[in-house]
Amino acid sequence: MLLSKIGPSILNADLANLSAQCQELLKNGADFLHLDVMDGHFVPNLTIGPPVVNSLRLALPKAFLDVHLMVSNPEMWIKPMAEAGADMYTFHIEATKNPMGCIEQIKERGMKVGMALKPGTPVDAVEPFMSHLDCVLIMTVEPGFGGQSFMPEMMSKVKHLREKYPMLDIEVDGGVGKGTIQQCAEAGANMIVSGSAVVKSDNPAQVISVLKQAVQSELTKRQQEKQ
């Protein structure tokens, strides 16, 4: 059964207190942690790498760590991220000449495989790889920064994938919060990344719960329609 999963992005979190903040987010209902890895080349920003992922792994042994590689040459970080303790390795199809090679290496290293699409990349680009993927990440902002505005026109990609792949984990990322979750849920997303809307809120638990319920109720509706 497809599950509704909410993963706060820590990009706009208090990085000086990252471990405590992640612990708090998990206590507040987060299903996974979304760790944005940027190299200053694929996107114009620099963030964290394997040492930080490893520190979080040691501090939070049970947390599901979803690493989103916004880097050129994603093949370069597969081994270091696996050794650091990442659970899912999501790379951008636009960043590599050899997506299938990346997929194979990620699987060999025991991680789940996610493939991410920038807003300008057509959804058909993932088609040749579908039988090998655990998750498709549809970016709903240009990758690089938190706090940007949600792009509703990306929902047609989500709808297309959900119609074709009823059991696929479809993740959306960028500008997702209370005001935009309904569109994501109705389109068929079930893995929700939410950064500023959660970490900048006075009540992260309440925001996580609203996001989760919106997605869960659409998933239940879909299931009932099928019966």
Ligand X SMILES: O=C(CO)[C@@H](O)[C@H](O)COP(=O)(O)O
- 39 touching ligand X, by CB under 6 A: no
Options 18-26, 88-96, 154-162, 170-178: segment touching ligand X (CB under 6 A): 170-178
- 85 touching ligand X, by CB under 6 A: no
* The binder of ligand X chosen from 56, 63, 184, 193 (CB under 6 A): 193
* The binder of ligand X chosen from 21, 28, 90, 194 (CB under 6 A): 194
Task: Check if 134 is active-site.
Answer: no
Minimum distance from residue 4 beta carbon to ligand X (Å): 17
- 141 touching ligand X, by CB under 6 A: yes
| CA atoms lying within 13 Å on the CB side of residue 2 | 25
Catalytic residue among 36, 39, 66, 169: 36
- 148 touching ligand X, by CB under 6 A: yes
Task: Check if 173 is active-site.
Answer: yes
* The binder of ligand X chosen from 53, 78, 82, 176 (CB under 6 A): 176
- 105 touching ligand X, by CB under 6 A: no
* The binder of ligand X chosen from 33, 37, 68, 219 (CB under 6 A): 68
**Which residue is it, tokens 């093949």?**
75
Q: SS3 letters for the chain?
A: CCCCEEEEECCCCCHHHHHHHHHHHHHCCCCCEEEEEEECCCCCCECCCHHHHHHHHHHCCCCCEEEEEECCCHHHHHHHHHHHCCCEEEEEHHHCCCHHHHHHHHHHCCCEEEEEECCCCCHHHHHHHHHHCCEEEEECCCCCCCCCCCCHHHHHHHHHHHHHCCCCEEEEECCCCCCCHHHHHHHCCCEEEECHHHHCCCCHHHHHHHHHHHHHHHHHHHHHHHC
Give whichever of 47 and 105 is closer to ligand X, judged by the CB atom: 47
- 196 touching ligand X, by CB under 6 A: yes
- 74 touching ligand X, by CB under 6 A: no
Q: What are the residues binding ligand X (CB under 6 A)?
A: 9, 11-12, 34, 36, 68, 70, 141, 143-148, 173-176, 193-197
Residues labelled as active-site residues: 36, 173
